[in-house]
Chains A and B, each alone.
Chain A
């Protein structure tokens, strides 16, 4: 129980005892630029999922990291966020959008600087409820940066079996990485 609890609060931090309730499912590290990172055939043996991400965009300005579940490209997602730009704080929301969002402006294009995110996807295989993710995401580039607390809702009761992470434009550069973990109940 402790492990599950601290696992799902791991975007705020986390702690865990040395047992097997927090397990690595798969990791993707890009050897060259790619348009997305995909996790498929996600087993239903866990209670929650956690994604730990480090990446950037090869061009464009800092923007959001996007996420889709089970290949759903319909307008079935909503989002809320609270952000800090280094000079001001703000908040916003979007509804009926075709993607979930992780952070806001937290995926940079600054050379040698990557954005990071810790994302919790709760009750991902529960077929009785919509799915909510929450994230802590940010980057700092010594003079610029963004930091955000965000959540997204996927309005589907389907169990999540695949996850697509992708930038709003361009591609993820080499060394971008995403690790998927499962947390048992």
Chain B
């Protein structure tokens, strides 16, 4: 039986970098999975994303967060970016954040796209996020950046996988 869970591309940053982009994503798969073990060059920013270069206010999200003391939930609507790590945030320590995001049914052209994410920064919090991109286009590129504009640190690793349904 053919493999259905395949690595598409990995980007390991040799130097600090503001944006990591996976482009020319084929429609071969059903779902995409992004695995990130990233750090920031400074501060405690998010891991944000934009799809297909869309910089409009077409993103929204609902979050569930545990910070070691309490559980909370937040929402952001009509945002210019989605987020796969928000309250957990990056630190300058490589390995302190682990984030995995599921881009569900990314290649269909009939429904809005939903991105499920789980992110952990053991120093701060663990969280789950569901994002909506209000666009029916197939996802062909994913740009990752921080909300504060600081760079991802050298040594950050981002890997994109594809899952193919029967």
B132 at the interface (CB under 8 A from A): yes
Bound-complex Cα distance A54 to B2 (A): 23
Bound-complex Cα distance A10 to B104 (A): 12
A139 at the interface (CB under 8 A from B): yes
Judge whether A147 and B165 touch: CB under 8 Å: no
A interface residues with partner B (beta carbon < 8 Å): 3, 7, 10-20, 22-27, 52, 54, 82-91, 112-116, 118, 136-143, 145-149, 175, 177, 179, 181
Bound-complex Cα distance A87 to B100 (A): 24
Q: A52-B31, A114-B112 are in contact. Are A84 and B128 (CB under 8 A)?
A: yes
Among B41-49, B70-78, B138-146, the stretch in contact with A: B70-78
Interface flags for B97-111 (1: CB within 8 Å of A; 0: not) read: 001111011001011
* Chain B binding surface, main DSSP class: strand
Judge whether A86 and B62 touch: CB under 8 Å: yes
B60 at the interface (CB under 8 A from A): yes
Judge whether B116 and A15 touch: CB under 8 Å: no
Judge whether A18 and B6 touch: CB under 8 Å: yes
B35 at the interface (CB under 8 A from A): yes
Bound-complex Cα distance A17 to B3 (A): 9
Bound-complex Cα distance A141 to B7 (A): 30
Judge whether A54 and B100 touch: CB under 8 Å: no
Bound-complex Cα distance A25 to B31 (A): 15
Judge whether B114 and A54 touch: CB under 8 Å: yes
Judge whether A116 and B165 touch: CB under 8 Å: no
Judge whether B132 and A142 touch: CB under 8 Å: yes
Task: Report which of B5, B63, B111, B132 forms a contact with A22, defined as CB distance below 8 A.
Answer: B5
Among B15-23, B88-96, B147-155, B156-164, the stretch in contact with A: B156-164
Task: Report which of B3, B71, B161 forms a contact with A20, defined as CB distance below 8 A.
Answer: B3
Q: A83-B64, A138-B62, A143-B60 are in contact. Are A15 and B75 (CB under 8 A)?
A: no
